[in-house]
Amino acid sequence: MRDFLRITIPIFAAGALAFWWAGRRVSADVRRARWIKFSTYVVIVHGVLAAAIAGRSAIVALMAAIAAAGAVEIITASRRISRHLAVVIPLVFFAIAAGAIAFGLSAAPTFVAYVYLVVAAFDGFSQAGGQLAGRRRLARTISPGKTVEGLFIGISGALVCAILFRGALSLSIASALTFAVIASAAGLAGDLAASWVKRRARIKDYGTLLPGHGGVLDRFDSFLAVATVMFLLRARP
């Protein structure tokens, strides 16, 4: 687990420096919002790592908490759509959440942390890449903010992250790259599915629990999907 921290701490330190540099040219309100989002993300990432360090019970408890909070959010959102979908959507979510918890129960905590970090890299680089270089919309009617360019930058970020952290699990480069591609595809599917529900429910975020990020599902939708796929594939480090 120390291998993870040796990389995440310098990355976030560099990110903080970049935020400070970029913040010189924006208003105080925008700068404050960016720092809140960045700080929350640092806490989230290292909270997951702390749970992994504490062991299987802690990581499973964390995943169960994410699933429970996500269930509340998805049920609330589904009620704004239609009576039929208000039943179907939560059932689909419960199946995904069960798969994610099962993954936490069956996989080594270090592997769970590895999965989360790669998914987080995909999400983060996709968003940043889309904002910096995005031109072509990826799914205009479902998630207007996602772009083709952002997707490829996100995949690149996941690939790099998978290779950087592979030493903690003694993965080969080929295995790390394969995992990153699968995680990117599953993460995108989970993100788009969650965005589709929000679009149908006419809401911007699933909640306000995580400052700067929205609800639990706004931050963990991709991770839940990838964790379920890893369980179904019986993936092992």
- pLDDT digits 0-9 by tens, 162-194: 999 998 898 999 999 999 999 999 999 999 999
Give the per-residue pLDDT at 91. 94
Give the per-residue pLDDT at 235. 64
Three-state SS for the chain is CHHHHHHHHHHHHHHHHHHHHHHHHCCHHHHHHHHHHHHHHHHHHHHHHHHHHHCHHHHHHHHHHHHHHHHHHHHHHHCCCCCCHHHHHHHHHHHHHHHHHHHHHHCCHHHHHHHHHHHHHHHHHHHHHHHHHCCCEEECCCEEEEEHHHHHHHHHHHHHHHHHCHHHCCCCHHHHHHHHHHHHHHHHHHHHHHHHHHHHHCCCCCCCCECCCECHHHHHHHHHHHHHHHHHCCCCC
Give the per-residue pLDDT at 77. 93
Q: What is the pLDDT along the chain (237 residues), one digit of tens a residue?
A: 667 887 888 877 877 787 677 667 778 887 888 788 888 988 999 999 999 999 999 999 999 999 999 999 999 999 898 878 888 999 999 999 999 999 999 999 999 999 999 999 898 888 777 766 767 777 777 877 788 888 888 899 899 999 999 988 989 999 999 999 999 999 999 999 999 999 999 998 999 999 988 999 999 999 999 999 999 998 666
Give the per-residue pLDDT at 209. 92
